[in-house]
Chains A and B, each alone.
Chain A
């Protein structure tokens, strides 16, 4: 059978020309600039950086413009771009204790050392549409300020519980070598926690949110408190190989969430709180909290809990399905031409129907 495989070129070119026109929209409306997206659609830019797994606000803003605001498409563009970049090396582990915090809240201690700092938050807003934003040429809004020297370090809440022995400690595994990198080696199971955290850090926010929500509703329940949520700027330190010393090469915004969860204990160890951890590029707090809950759920084995069969506990299920670029690639490919595959199916079903209509084959029946 002959199946046409050529002839789409002109249609494709014209479709892309229309895409460009549709992207621009009504030309009587001024065109969006990349700096406008970067400065005024900041949280979309942050999400594209976090899930695109590449910190570069200008590039993320450009990707959003190119993708007509389709964030998964923008993330796809960033992921494709990052594969073209040579890897200069890895940074020193980021010191989030030295973060210049713009937001830092604890749901566990009212009087947390370092204070409760709300920062630029949607919390406590009434979620009513603000029609005044529809008016153009408004006066520039101005934040209030208060005298305060930037604190050199903001201690983590976990340190205080840890000091009392109430919280399961986090230790660096001496001699563990470089952490696994799923951009270099394919996923393999069982995964280490380092690999799970890498996968979750770039995972789809919606998927991570739904899984985290499922653990709260009882599918792998572990009752979390947000011990701490912080957003702010951290210096990136990387070694310059030619010089043999490390230099701070940049400042990036991060969101970090530490949860305090219900207990683990054993015959020899008294009960302790356990913890989950979330860290994302940019200001993405829904994602960071979700990541911490799912991280905690996947630690059931290490903490001696039962596998309740909950999706969030199943690392193979979570890690194999959390990447929105893998997911959308496989999902969306089914809309592309499958003419040959379908012809085969069509032939098969016609044959089966013909056979059914002809009645039982006497020779075959006798053989059975």
Chain B
């Protein structure tokens, strides 16, 4: 367990980044990358995949007091590899297989298999997420209004 008041270590920051990438990944894409990677580590469930909800909070006026906005579906699980490394997942949606793969990747990222997982799964997911964000930003930018003022009555 980590002390919540301690400054986040680089290890924790890195783990947060890959857990987040896995949690947000499209389920079909994660499954495809996982099976292409050919990884099938033995594991035991500490908590089998379970679908549930997370209450989303907003803030009054965007910056004020929090309020409950509504929930989103999420699936969580925890498992242990044969070597003893534990993996956790809390992922968006109701995909139990997505949660299982995410927890396996989380565990493997702290074993010798880390470079394989990064190259075969995390790097493609990161590139695709970046491409989706860039595509949205490019479409938004094309709808940005460029005001110009017509100057009237001046004989410049």
Contact = CB atoms under 8 A, between A and B. Distances in A.
Nearest to B93: A56
Given A87-B52, A145-B138, A150-B134, A54 B71 contact: yes
Given A56-B73, A85-B51, A115-B145, A102 B140 contact: yes
Nearest to A181: B68
A93 interface: yes
Interface centre among A56, A86, A256 (most CB of B within 10 A): A56
A172 interface: yes
A251 interface: yes
A244 B88 CA distance: 12
Interface in B125-139: 133-139
B32 interface: no
A82 interface: yes
Contacts of B136: 100, 102, 150, 233
Contact of B65 (A59, A89, A173): A173
Given A55-B71, A58-B93, A198-B68, 16 more contacts: A85-B71, A90-B54, A91-B54, A91-B55, A102-B139, A116-B145, A144-B142, A145-B139, A146-B141, A148-B138, A170-B61, A198-B67, A236-B92, A243-B2, A245-B16, A281-B72
Nearest to A118: B143
A244 B60 contact: no
Nearest to A183: B68
Interface in B42-74: 50-74
Interface residues of A, number: 83
A179 B67 contact: yes
Contacts of B56: 55, 90-91, 94, 236, 252, 281
Contacts of A86: 50, 52-53
B152 interface: no
Interface centre among A92, A96, A245 (most CB of B within 10 A): A245
A208 B102 CA distance: 40
Contacts of A179: 57, 65-68
Contacts of B60: 170, 193-194, 197, 277
B54 A88 contact: yes
Nearest to A142: B139
A240 interface: yes
Interface in A223-245: 233, 235-236, 238, 240, 242-245
27 contacts: A55-B71, A56-B93, A59-B94, A86-B53, A88-B52, A91-B55, A101-B140, A103-B143, A116-B144, A117-B144, A118-B144, A119-B140, A144-B139, A144-B143, A149-B137, A150-B137, A158-B61, A158-B62, A179-B66, A235-B24, A240-B88, A244-B2, A244-B4, A245-B8, A250-B74, A256-B62, A279-B69
Q: Which 9 residue pairs are nearest across A and B when measured between Cβ atoms?
A: A250-B92, A170-B64, A170-B61, A148-B141, A145-B138, A55-B72, A248-B20, A150-B137, A194-B67
Interface in A18-56: 49-50, 53-56
A119 to B, nearest CB: 6
Interface centre among B20, B67, B73 (most CB of A within 10 A): B67
Contacts of B67: 179, 193-195, 197-198, 201
A242 B76 CA distance: 11
A143 B139 contact: yes
A287 interface: no
Contacts of A205: none
A353 interface: no
A87 B53 contact: yes
B51 to A, nearest CB: 7
B141 A156 contact: no
Contacts of A202: 70
B121 interface: no
B137 A148 contact: yes
Nearest to B149: A110
B141 A55 contact: no
A275 B60 CA distance: 10
Nearest to B13: A245
B12 interface: yes
